[in-house]
Amino acid sequence: MRNRVVLLLQDRAAFYLPNDILSIYLPLTLAKRRSFSTSARLFQQTGMAHLLAISGLHIALIYGIIYFLLKNFFGLSLKLMERVHLHTMVQLTALSVLWLYIFLLEWPIPALRAATMLSLLVFGNLLGLVQVPLFSLCLTSFMFLIAKPVMFYDLSFQLSFLAVFSILIFLPLHPTLRKSDSLTIKLSKYCLSSLLMTGSVMFGIWPLISNVFSRLSLETFWLNLVMVPLLGVIILPLCLISLLISLFYLGTPPFRPLESEVFQLTEWGIRLWFSLMEEIHKIGGWAVIEVKLTWSIQEYVLYYLMLFSIGFGIFSWKPLKLFFQTRHGFRSK
């Protein structure tokens, strides 16, 4: 049943979208990659393939959209009643819908990791527990390996967890956004946070990337500045709306009300988004470094122990964070 629904959704999207756009749309919505396409290869060459994996950014946005819709729906439905446990009901319902979506996708590891961590954080919040994302990540990885030990050798598992681990241990260095900040300050903080996050991920996964793909792309530093916000604000919402409309009209003939128009908007959005990446790649294509890493297991262990030690030092040594924030004019009140 699940496979049939996914196939019908793919066929419906293929009816409206050309192949080059479809090779971007399908990974973003149904976790179905087409590695032979030109567009998919460019994402790999530039180091931006993570944008086509349904992972933390996608899961957070999907959960946020579901939460917003449900909160307004339940809020209007219950406006004449006492709103006891409304917040809890909305969060649990949003999580349930999210897990149904991941079930439809056949449990891709990055999405499963992100949804598990999100669920732990939501339940912890509902129970009034202290939120420790690094603990949630470790607990999630432990649960995965207990359920399926061979997953330890899965490249997707390794990249997903190492990337998030690296982000979390360097998180104290990120500037804090405040409502009182001017637009210029907010943009500066966003750029700094984006560069820090890209650098953090690079520290965490470059040994694996170099070993498996024999290349490193430094283009991710400036491409993430542009591609990620456009993905979150425009591309992914359009793709999800298209998917939702396809699901609503599943089993019916094409050209239903609004369906063609929404897919047309989605095609335009994806085409402009991809064209922008192509133009930036023409300028910064020199930043792809061909390198093959041949470390032993002991060297990998030593490297990640050193990375963990640096992260632990950042967490423990508060003056470092204060110095960093003050140096860049981002010290919070």
Domain residue ranges of the chain, discontinuous segments joined by +: 4-317
C-alpha span between 203 and 226 (Å, rounded): 21
187 vs 74, residue with greater confidence: 187
Q: Which of the residue ranges 171-180, 233-242, 289-298, 319-328 would you say has the lowest mean pLDDT?
A: 319-328
Number of CB atoms found within 10 A of residue 216's CB = 20
Please name the residues in contact with 163: beta carbons below 8 A apart, sequence gap of 6 or more. Answer: 50, 201, 204, 205
The stretch 190-215 carries a mean pLDDT of 88
C-alpha span between 210 and 217 (Å, rounded): 10
Is there a contact between 274 and 234 (Cβ–Cβ < 8 Å)? no
The model's confidence at residue 328, banded by pLDDT at 50, 70 and 90, is very low
pTM attached to this predicted model: 0.82
**Residue 302, φ and ψ in degrees, nearest 5:** -65, -40
Quick: pLDDT tens for 272-282: 999 999 999 88
C-alpha span between 83 and 26 (Å, rounded): 39
The stretch 315-319 carries a mean pLDDT of 62
The stretch 100-112 carries a mean pLDDT of 88
What rounded mean pLDDT belongs to the chain?
83
* Helix, strand, coil share of the chain (percent; to 5): 75, 0, 20
The stretch 321-326 carries a mean pLDDT of 48
Tell me: pLDDT of 323 over 60: no
User: What does DSSP assign to residue 175?
Assistant: P
Tell me: pLDDT of 321 over 70: no
Angle at Cα 231 formed by Cα 216 and Cα 203, nearest 5°? 30
Q: For the chain, count helices (H), then strands (E).
A: 14, 2
Element housing 117 (H / E): helix 109-126
**Residue 129, φ and ψ in degrees, nearest 5:** -90, 155
Output the pLDDT for position 317.
64
Quick: pLDDT tens for 151-193: 888 888 888 889 888 888 888 777 777 777 788 888 888 888 8
Output the pLDDT for position 275.
93
The model's confidence at residue 83, banded by pLDDT at 50, 70 and 90, is low
The stretch 25-52 carries a mean pLDDT of 83
Output the pLDDT for position 46.
86
